[in-house]
Each structure stands twice: as C-alpha cells, then as structure tokens.
C-alpha cells in the first residue's frame, strides 16, 4: 500500500478521469479561517457530462455479476481503511471535528461500503403463487438507473458512502455533489473508488455551484433517482423539482430530537449518553439531541451530572489530540447559535454554563462556541422549534409521561427521539408513541450499516442503511407469464 498524502487541491471525477477547471472554490479550515485548499467550480456543463457518462456506463454496470459489483465495493472499503489515518486528518481539517471522531466517521464510512459489498450478491426477486392455471408470477428487483446523490458537510465521508455504496451495489450508476464546505474528503474517497475495478463513468463526482448542478440533474429525465441529505428547506425544494420527471426521491433532513429522562432512569448513564450525543461534532448532528426533557423530581440531579461532564469538555482545533469539541462550520453557524441562546435567556432561561463564542488566543480566528447548558427552558423559546445545530444543551422539565410525549411530538420534525427509563411498560408505550423514525432507549447510538436511518414528518422520506437503504435504489418489476 502506498501511503497517500492528499494535496488540498480536490478534483472532480467524471468518466473515470480527474477533472480540474480554471475556476475554483476555496475550502477553509473552520478552526482559523485559513484557506487550506480548493476544488473546481463545476456547473451545468460538467454536471451534464457526468450524467452522460453515468447513463452510458449504466447498462454494463447493472449487468455485471452481483458478486463482481460486491468485490469492487469491498476493494473500495479496504482502500478506505488502509488510508483511514490520512483521510481522518483531511476530514478534520476541512470540517473541524476532532480527529478521533473523524477517524470513527471514516471507519463507519468504510463499514457501509463493506456491508453493501456483501449484500450486492443477495439481491433477488420472488416467485408468487399463481392466480390462474399455467401462470407464473415473478417479481424482479432491478436498479433504478442513474442516481443523483447530494451530501452535507456535517458527516461528509459517511454520507457519501451511505448513499454511493447501496446505489452501486444495486447496479445504479451515480453522480454525486458534496457540500462546498467539505469537498476534499469526497474527492479523496472518489480517488480510492477510481483505483478499484469500477468501470469508467459508473461513479462521478462534481463539485461546484449547488443550484446549477442540482437543477441540471433534476431537470434531466435520465436521472431516475435523487438521494439528498441536508436541510429540510433545501430538501423540500428538490422534492418539488423532482416532480417534473417523477423521480424517485429519498430525503434525509433536519431534526429536533427530544431526550426524555424519567425519574426512574439511571441518571449517570443518561448524562453520559446525552452529553456524548449532544456534543458530538460540536452539536452539528441531524439526530443530535435538541431538547432534554427531565422529570421534575430529578431535574437538579440530572442537571448537575450534565454540567459536570460539559465543564470537562475541551474545545480546540480538531487535529489536536486532546480536543473534544471542534469549531462550528462557519461564522453564520456561530451567529445562529448565539441568537437562539440570547432568545432563550431573554425569555427567562437560566444560563448555567457557556453561552458565548470563544474569541481569544488560539480561538481568535475560528468559529468556536463554548459548550452551553441552559435550564428553565420553556416552549415559548425559539430553540424548542429550530434545530440549534451547535453545542447547546437546553433542559426542560415535565411532570407526567403524557405531557412529555405530547411536547416531544409537538414539532414538524420526526428524525430521532431518546428515552431514559427502567420501566418496561413505559419503554413499550413510548417507543410506539414517539413520532420519530428512530428511537434510542437508554442509549443514543443509532447509525449502523444494517439498520434503517431516517425520519418521518418533515425529517425525510425513505431510509439509509441495511436492506431498507438498498431498496431505495431498486425498482420492482412484476412479470405474469402464461405457460403453454
Ligand atoms: N437526516 C439525516 O440523515 C441528516 C444527516 C446529515 C445532515 N442532515 C441535515 O443537514 C443539514 C445540515 O447540512 P447542510 O447545511 O449542508 O444542508 P444544506 O441543505 O444547506 O446542504 C446540503 C447539500 O445540499 C446542497 N444544496 C444546497 N442548495 C442546493 C440546491 N438549490 N440544489 C441542489 N443542492 C443544493 C449543498 O451544497 C449540500 O451539498 C441539517 O439540517 C441536518 O440536520 C440530515
Ligand atoms: N449522525 C448521523 C448523521 C447525521 O447528521 C449518522 O451518523 O448517520
């Protein structure tokens, strides 16, 4: 294995070849605002060429033996793992998350590829019981066609593979656009994919102007599927545009995840899990806890436990080994978090820790926000409705179970919900009653290759992960044959 040291000049990949353009987009390090690299500013032309090549590659790739498609993916997974340390460093530099977290994300990214590499050879159809004599009924599963994949900046490695791996396993060919904030890790992952035995044109990466690229793909009838992860607002716009050619749509959108902590819960366990989830990736996580609902009698006990853990978090540059919370992605994110904290405090919330950006010394040019704990939060405050997407733990109280469920469900979002209790009956009632695509009970980990990740209501459509994620890239075809 040759050790790679990716330059910070990312490239597009179209028809299996590196593409650069005279016009570029700068990539900055959120820890200090420095320009660390650039990628081509692609637009309509390159986006269209990517679809041309993906359409041309589709017949050959979709007819490759499933086990051969699987081998390509397993090779890709191994290449990612072989280079995990360099990839994690690159990811941490452009996105800001601590390098240990970045390493975890790169390994998760490889796990998705490996899992779908295994699953490619198990895609099969069904034979149904006939309705008439001499009839044979079969159902085929066939790849949808060219799939357009659009990914966000917060998990810029795992979101690329969680889409591309099932699409390629299914036999689809893909065109992918990463977020402008984090294109370098996508470019590096594609470089490793291009080193496998994948036919030229089966996977294409275009960086650049989001709206031009997105509109080109959505307006092209040859693109049969759009899979998007990002904000609910952009997701709704893409869904409207996808209607023109009735494309299949998968949307992984924003969330407003509640964590409900009951008085019978193991409070140390709850505090550990809540802080780990809430401050992962600086709070920039779609399934991150947005609201902590604690039952009145244990309010202070839980708050003290959360405060002790939050005070121990070290904020710093992601590439430092001793850092737990990195910078936010940009200045706009810091301002949004501050506005939500100010609104809460102005309406009566009590600031127990943090509540301000870090601006001095090593933090002076970055987008750092101090981990924050607010208590006495109530439903009039904006942060109970808006996704905070930052390192802020708002604590609310409730008296009885019905009230907690009603308030937790009182949002247009429905991605994840968390529950801490030892009561089996309550676990049963609430896992059914909470309006979310995923529920964590006495723990907060939800992303696994075999499990369906995704939301209901305005948090999305469809699922990623497991066989559910594969189905998103497969069409059913029913065949009725009358035999002689
Ligand atoms: N549900 C999930 O699985 C999941 C996972 C990660 C992130 N998210 C959500 O993503 C959001 C954060 O990500 P973001 O800020 O990058 O979201 P975003 O919607 O701003 O951008 C997401 C992607 O869409 C692209 N985009 C933006 N406008 C576009 C347009 N007009 N046409 C085509 N593409 C366009 C962006 O360039 C980026 O690649 C949060 O709301 C978070 O909850 C959801
Ligand atoms: N935490 C999620 C990504 C959402 O932002 C994941 O790991 O899939």
Quick: pLDDT tens for 318-364: 998 789 999 999 999 999 999 999 999 999 999 999 999 999 998 99
* Residues 6+ positions from 201 with CB-CB distance below 8 Å: 14, 15, 16, 53, 54, 56, 57, 173
DSSP assignment string, 411-472: SS--SEEEEE-S-HHHHHHHHHHS-SSEEEES------TTS-B--SGGGEES-BSHHHHHHT
Q: Which helix (H) or strand (E) holds 215?
A: helix 210-218
Rounded to whole angstroms, the Cα distance separating 76 from 70 reads 10
Rounded to whole angstroms, the Cα distance separating 117 from 76 reads 9
Query: Rounded to the nearest whole angstrom, what is the distance from the C-alpha of residue 286 to the centroid of ligand 2?
Result: 6
Taking residues 18-25, what's their average pLDDT?
A: 95
Ligand 1 atom at minimum distance from 232 CA: 41
Mean pLDDT (the chain, rounded) = 97
My answer on whether 147 and 291 are in the same domain is: no
My answer on whether 373 and 243 are in the same domain is: no
CATH code, 66: 3.40.605.10
Q: What's residue 8's pLDDT?
A: 81
Query: Rounded to the nearest whole angstrom, what is the distance from the C-alpha of residue 78 to the centroid of ligand 1?
Result: 28
Q: What's residue 3's pLDDT?
A: 60
My answer on whether 272 and 417 are in the same domain is: yes
Query: Rounded to the nearest whole angstrom, what is the distance from the C-alpha of residue 288 to the centroid of ligand 2?
Result: 8
The answer to whether the beta carbons of residues 474 and 144 sit under 8 Å apart is yes
Residue nearest to atom 7 of ligand 2 (CA): 447
My answer on whether 376 and 472 are in the same domain is: no
My answer on whether 82 and 136 are in the same domain is: yes
Asked if the model's pLDDT at residue 53 lies above 90, the reply is yes
The answer to whether the beta carbons of residues 453 and 253 sit under 8 Å apart is no
My answer on whether 339 and 381 are in the same domain is: yes
Q: What's residue 233's pLDDT?
A: 97
With respect to residue 406, please indicate whether it lies within any of the assigned structural domains: yes
Q: What's residue 321's pLDDT?
A: 79
Domain with 38 in it? 12-253+468-480
Q: Catalytic site residue 68? A: no
With respect to residue 215, please indicate whether it lies within any of the assigned structural domains: yes
Closest CA to 415 of 327, 287, 277: 287
My answer on whether 265 and 171 are in the same domain is: no
My answer on whether 223 and 88 are in the same domain is: yes
With respect to residue 76, please indicate whether it lies within any of the assigned structural domains: yes
Distances in whole angstroms, Cα of residue 399 to Cα of each of 294, 440, 482: 9, 21, 64
Rounded to whole angstroms, the Cα distance separating 172 from 58 reads 7
My answer on whether 133 and 159 are in the same domain is: yes
With respect to residue 2, please indicate whether it lies within any of the assigned structural domains: no
With respect to residue 455, please indicate whether it lies within any of the assigned structural domains: no
With respect to residue 459, please indicate whether it lies within any of the assigned structural domains: no
pLDDT tens profile 92-105: 999 999 999 999 99
Q: How many domains does the chain have?
A: 2
Taking residues 425-443, what's their average pLDDT?
A: 98
Angle, CA of 371, 374 and 375, to the nearest 5°: 150
Q: What's residue 329's pLDDT?
A: 98
Taking residues 176-189, what's their average pLDDT?
A: 97
Pocket of ligand 1 (CB under 6 A): 150-155, 177-180, 210-211, 214, 229-231, 234, 237, 252-255, 286, 387, 415, 453, 455, 460
Report the percent of the chain where pLDDT is more than 90.
97
* Residues 6+ positions from 424 with CB-CB distance below 8 Å: none
My answer on whether 152 and 217 are in the same domain is: yes
My answer on whether 146 and 265 are in the same domain is: no
My answer on whether 424 and 437 are in the same domain is: yes
Taking residues 160-172, what's their average pLDDT?
A: 98
Query: Is residue 6 very low, low, confident or very high in pLDDT (cuts 50, 70, 90)?
Result: confident
First to last CA, the chain: 58
Asked if the model's pLDDT at residue 1 lies above 70, the reply is no
Asked if the model's pLDDT at residue 265 lies above 70, the reply is yes
With respect to residue 457, please indicate whether it lies within any of the assigned structural domains: no
With respect to residue 117, please indicate whether it lies within any of the assigned structural domains: yes
CATH code, 263: 3.40.309.10
* Residues 6+ positions from 236 with CB-CB distance below 8 Å: none
pLDDT tens profile 352-379: 999 999 999 989 999 999 999 999 999 9
């Amino acid at each position: 294995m040759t050790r790679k040291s990716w330059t910070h000049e990312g490239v597009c990949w179209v028809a299996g070849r590196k593409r650069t353009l005279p016009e570029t987009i700068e990539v900055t390090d959120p820890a200090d605002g420095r320009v660390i690299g650039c990628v081509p500013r692609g637009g309509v032309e390159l986006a269209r060429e990517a679809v041309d090549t993906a359409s041309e590659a589709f017949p050959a790739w979709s007819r490759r033996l499933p086990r051969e498609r699987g081998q390509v993916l397993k090779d890709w997974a191994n290449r990612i793992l072989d280079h995990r340390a360099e990839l994690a460093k690159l990811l941490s530099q452009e996105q800001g998350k601590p390098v240990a977290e970045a390493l975890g994300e790169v390994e998760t990214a490889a796990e998705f590829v490996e899992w779908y590499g295994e699953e490619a050879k198990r895609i099969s159809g069904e034979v149904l019981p006939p309705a008439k004599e001499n009839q044979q009924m079969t159902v085929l599963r066939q790849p949808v066609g060219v799939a357009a994949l659009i990914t966000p900046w917060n998990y810029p490695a795992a979101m690329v593979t969680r889409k591309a791996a099932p699409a390629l396993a299914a036999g689809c060919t893909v065109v992918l656009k990463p977020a402008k904030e984090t294109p370098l890790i996508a470019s590096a992952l594609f470089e490793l994919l291009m080193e496998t035995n994948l036919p030229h044109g089966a996977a294409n990466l275009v960086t650049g102007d989001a709206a031009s690229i997105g509109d080109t793909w959505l307006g092209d009838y040859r693109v049969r599927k759009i899979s998007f992860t990002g904000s609910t607002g952009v997701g709704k716009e893409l869904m409207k545009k996808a209607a023109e050619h009735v494309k299949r749509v998968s949307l992984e959108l924003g969330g407003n995840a509640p964590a409900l902590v009951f008085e019978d819960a193991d409070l140390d366990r709850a505090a550990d899990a809540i802080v780990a989830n809430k401050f992962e990736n600086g709070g920039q996580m779609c399934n991150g806890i947005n609201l902590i609902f604690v039952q009145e009698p244990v309010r202070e006990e839980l708050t003290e436990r959360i405060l002790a853990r939050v005070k121990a978090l070290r904020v710093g540059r992601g590439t430092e080994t001793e850092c737990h919370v990195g910078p936010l992605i940009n200045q706009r994110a810091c301002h949004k978090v501050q506005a939500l904290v100010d609104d809460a405090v102005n309406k009566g919330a009590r600031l127990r820790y943090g509540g301000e950006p870090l601006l001095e010394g090593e933090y002076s040019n970055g987008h750092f926000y101090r981990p924050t704990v607010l208590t006495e939060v109530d439903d009039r405050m904006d942060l109970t409705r808006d996704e905070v997407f930052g390192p802020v733990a708002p604590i609310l109280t409730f008296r009885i179970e019905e009230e907690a469920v009603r308030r937790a469900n009182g949002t247009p979002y429905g991605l994840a919900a968390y529950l801490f209790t030892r009561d089996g009956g309550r676990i049963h009632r609430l896992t059914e009653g909470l309006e979310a695509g995923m529920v964590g009970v006495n723990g907060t980990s939800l992303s696994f290759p075999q499990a369906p990740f995704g939301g209901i209501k305005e948090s999305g459509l469809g699922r990623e992960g497991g066989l559910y994620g594969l189905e998103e890239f497969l069409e059913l075809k029913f065949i009725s044959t009358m035999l002689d």
